[in-house]
Structure 1
Amino acid sequence: MDIICDLVFNNPYNNLEISDDIELYYTNQNSPVIAPNSTATGQRSQKIKKLTKSLLSTSCENNCNYCPFRANRDFRRKTYTPDEIAKAFMSIYQHEISDGIFLSSGIINGGSKTQDKLIETAEILRIKYNFQGYLHLKIMPGANTSQLDRSIELADRVSVNLEAPNNQRLKILAPNKQFSKDLITPIKWLNDRFKNDPYKKGWKNRWPSLVTQLVIGPAGESDKEVILASHELINHYHLARIYYSKFVPQKNTPLYLSPPTSSKRTLRLYQASFLLRDYHYSPNDIIYDKYDNISLYEDPKLTWAKINLINNPVEINKAPFNQLLRIPGIGIHGAKMIVQQRKNNSIKKIEDLKNMGITSNQFLPFILLSGKRLEYQLSFSNRYFQDPTQDV
């Protein structure tokens, strides 16, 4: 019972994971076990997935300066066997408390031995218990290639956590870790594996998605550093997602006196990363202040549009798909609907857009309908605008 309480009630990291690239998996009763979660942009999918985040051990031989589980921090540690974690999770899963599991651990006796324990837990779930649901498996620093190979055969998602956007910042957060050897090397190996062996599939006959996490704030990194690193990870290594973890100071750690990170900052970074990943923006399209940070006060897509589109509005009836994506309030689905509608009839009024499900008013100052702006649109934009490079 104690382990179930730890997994469900006493786990500060047991929350929803954003997984918008995970496909729906259906049981024999045609009910979804796995569904993509809502995203930081406010889009919502069919079902919010409940994820149990588990640690095999809260002991760790590393001394990351921000981490509550660092080796030199004095607190009571707990360690469970792979069988204990698997058995406890299956009880939670069968009672429909959780839809999936994230397996991680503090590092004990090196990353390779810890990875063996994580793989053993995943094997017990998949083979002994025939668990068909969502499994996110952490890759430990120091895991070897055979362990990477087995991990991607078992998981729906694997993660290699960079923690920082570059080596300089990592030294502040985690002086024991080597940015290239411990973190970039396994990401590169996994990307090459997926790319060069597309016909060998993992669990559910597809390769798992690959993600990472960056801890935002305590290393003093700028948003521009984060965005440049994110762009490289998304475009070069094909990561499905980058998680931006806001820093929360932990007592009895070297970074305890550092200020906590604003939720608004991580929100803006998520929005910017979606622009890079899904909307064909480059890092140079993101607008930064003089400190190379994104404004906390508005969506970076809106900031870009205020500078680039207010005097060059987009003609809805002629603009190509990628240009439609640049208009605030119009997403991928909305742009597809516009292109489809134009094949039959021109779009003549705002209500036509509303009828397509494009309900946000954000697009109003940035569009033309048959070469014209609507009269009320101009008065709307006068009330709406301020200098987007200035914080308020």
Structure 2
Amino acid sequence: MARMTIRDKLALLSDAAKYDASCASSGTSKRTSRDGSGLGSTTGSGICHAYAPDGRCISLLKILMTNYCVFDCAYCVNRVSSNVPRARFTVEEVVWLTTEFYRRNYIEGLFLSSGIIRSSDYTMEEMVRIAETLRAQGFRGYIHLKTIPDASPELIERAGLAADRLSINVELPTDASVRAFAPEKNPGQIRSAMARVRTTGEDYAETSWKGRRRGKFAPAGQSTQMIVGADAADDATILGNAHRLYGAYNLKRVYYSAFSPIPDASAVLPLVDPPLMREHRLYQADWLLRFYDFSLDEIVTRDAGGMLDLDVDPKLAWALTNRDRFPVDVNAAPRDMLLRVPGFGAKIADRILAARRSGRLGLDDIRRMGGRVKQALPFIVTRDHSPKGSLDSADLRTRFVKPKQMELF
């Protein structure tokens, strides 16, 4: 058998990494040195992103260290029973690739994951060595490491000191699904590792009596990922689990990855089209929970079968169900109600609050601020507009439903 070149390995292991969605990098600060030396840097709010059409971040060198794995997770293309070509990078090869891509300005950082080889500690040690070697060579770009839950606490601590963000995937929305599809993984152990990352980060953030911190531990925090559509969990269950994870482990992001049938798929998994629109609606609902003070019961109800409306976004779906709360007078309403208007985001709400001190606002004013007036029109009152009876119209919902060919695929 011919020996694999580094180019061959890159093609194979970058493709194998595409199933992991949790690779965003915002939230870290620039790594600098006093003498101005070092290789590259990130911007103050994190590196720049490029996105694929399905919304996944592609601005990082996103690879697996290896796609060999001793685990047999049914949903994973790299499981031990999968009949796929295998490859493995050495520590030196990943360091060289990252540095060379970075020098050429192709990437602004590294997202590194791996199958489990030999043992969890052995694999985690190799990944940590990559991050530590890059830092020792002056690399100041972004590093995101996928953390192995049952790796030793010492390795997880070293990982956080070298990387900007750590992620530990809960994999599936329920413990029962994890046990069914990934029998080698322990949901409790996954949560314990996430708790360890949180407490270690808090420990490093505490200041000494001199006002100094011990160091920077995963300054961009931690994230996780849930696969959507591989099991029977409904959206209420998925969002409820995400809400608990945010609160318990201070996560920066929960990523939702639409399950797609993989090559050499396990017979226990469904043959389905990737539910990309469902994934998209979950991200929108997640945003409402985190930044718009919506409760889970407002976004998705058991009356709807625990599922989000795929035809309209969650905020619009709530507004259509709660028409008695509208119309909202943009010249008088408080911020929390402005945030509930379809087509208004947090920035628009703040701009409205600031601008209306100088006079009553009209539709053109809202439009200049960046508000999506067409979507907001039936739900607002302005100086020059009143929806009149449009809120009572039986076909109001149909005005917002896009033709099927316009949906996200």
TM band (smaller chain): 0.7 to 0.9
Point out where structure 2 has 5 or more consecutive residues left out of the alignment: 207-212, 405-409
Q: CA RMSD in A?
A: 3.4
Residue in structure 1 matching 2:253, options 241, 248, 251 = 241
Number of aligned residues: 382
Is structure 2 residue 11 aligned with structure 1 residue 11?
no
What residue is the counterpart of 1:171 in the other structure? 179
Q: Is the 8 A contact 1:40 1:267 kept in 2?
A: no
Q: Secondary structure at the match of 1:103?
A: strand
Pick from 294, 312, 323 the counterpart of residue 337 of structure 2.
323
Moved over 4 A (4+): 14-18, 23-34, 38-43, 379-383
d(CA) in 2 for partners of 1:160 and 1:20? 15
Q: Structure 1, residues 56-75: CA drift from partner, whole Å, max 9, x if none?
A: 11110111001111011233
For residues 8-28 of structure 1, the C-alpha deviation after alignment (integer angstroms, 9 at most, x for no partner) is 686223598663733574997
- Equivalent AA in structure 1 for residue 147 of structure 2: I
* 1:266 equivalent among 269, 272, 279: 279
In the other structure, the counterpart of 1:362 is: 375
Deviates more, 1:137-146 or 1:3-12: 3-12
Q: Tell me the percent identity.
A: 29
Closer/same/farther in 2, CA of residues 42 and 23 from structure 1, 3 Å limit: farther
Q: Is the 8 A contact 2:65 2:114 kept in 1?
A: yes
Residue matched to 2:205: 198
Separation (CA, whole Å) in 2 of partners of 1:301 and 1:18: 26
Residue aligning to 2:85: 76
TM-score (norm 1): 0.86
Is the CA contact (8 Å cut-off) linking 1:59 and 1:77 kept in structure 2? Answer: yes
- CA deviation map 1:88-108 (0-9, x unaligned): 221122122222111111001
Please say if 1:210 is aligned against 2:219: no
Q: How many Å apart are 1:256 and its aligned residue?
A: 5.1
Cα distance in 2 for partners of 1:387, 1:201 equals: 56
- The answer to whether the 8 Å contact 2:223/2:253 transfers is yes
Give, in angstroms, the shift of residue 272 of structure 1: 0.7
Q: Which moved more, 1:150-159 or 1:28-37?
A: 28-37
Contact 1:271 1:299 in 2 (8 A): yes
The partner residue of 2:67 within 52, 58, 69 is: 58
Q: Distance in 2 between matches of 1:345 and 1:263?
A: 43
- By relative contact order (CA 8 Å, sep 6+), the higher-ranking structure is 2
1:118 Cα deviation after fit: 0.7
Instruction: Tell me how far apart the structure 2 counterparts of residues 169 and 83 of structure 1 sit (CA, whole Å).
Output: 37
Q: Which residue in 1 is equivalent to 2:407? A: none
User: Greater shift after overlay, 220-229 or 306-315?
Assistant: 306-315
Alpha-carbon separation, structure 2, partners of 1:30 and 1:131: 6
> Structure 1 residue 315: deviation in Å?
2.0
Equivalent residue runs for 1:342-361 within 5 Å: 342-347=356-361, 349-361=362-374
Using structure 2 for the length normalisation, give the TM-score: 0.83
Q: Provide closer, same or farther for how the CA distance between residues 381 and 333 of structure 1 changes in structure 2, counting only shifts above 3 A.
A: farther
CA contact (8 A) 1:173 1:218 kept: no
Match of 2:366, SS state, is helix
Cα separation, 1, equivalents of 2:139 and 2:187: 34
Cα 1:55/1:41, change in 2 over 3 Å? closer
Aligned 8 A contact 1:137 1:158 in 2: yes
- Change over 3 Å in CA distance of 1:20–1:101 after alignment to 2: closer
CA contact (8 A) 1:18 1:36 kept: no
Structure 1 residues 20, 252: closer, same or farther in 2, change over 3 A? Answer: closer
SS of residue paired to 1:158: strand
For the pair 1:115 / 2:118, whether they are aligned, the reply is no
Q: Distance in 2 between matches of 1:367 and 1:173?
A: 48
- Confirm whether residue 184 of structure 1 aligns to residue 187 of structure 2: no
**Match of residue 223, structure 1, among 235, 240, 249:** 235
